[in-house]
Amino acid sequence: MADFRTEVDRSGRILIPLELRREINVNTGDTLVLRKIDNEIKLLKYQDVIREIQSFFASRKKEGISMTDEIIKMRREENKVE
């Protein structure tokens, strides 16, 4: 683990140091996702988040779980609470 120091400018932007961008393969124009975990922010590449979501749904499909049925079940449970 390495620490990098940066500042937030008036517009709320932060600069990711070049060394870190190279290490994590972040390039100009890449879309990033900020994930809040407790009091920390995790920086993720958008494509990695998409792959994470696809993997989740693929694993559910292999288990024979219908995501449509799961969503309907969740909605029905939410309606019972209301």
Instruction: Report the C-alpha gap between 70 and 64 in whole angstroms.
Output: 11
CB 49 within 8 A of CB 36: no
Average pLDDT over residues 20-32: 94
Inter-residue contact 32 to 43 (CB < 8 Å): yes
pTM of the model: 0.61
Q: What is the mean pLDDT of residues 19-27?
A: 94
- Lowest-pLDDT choice from 47-51, 62-66, 73-77: 62-66
pLDDT at 7 over 80: yes
More confident position, 62 or 22 = 22
| Helices (H) then strands (E): counts for the chain | 3, 2
The predicted pLDDT at position 64 comes to: 77
Average pLDDT for 43-61: 87
pLDDT band of residue 82 (cuts 50, 70, 90) is low
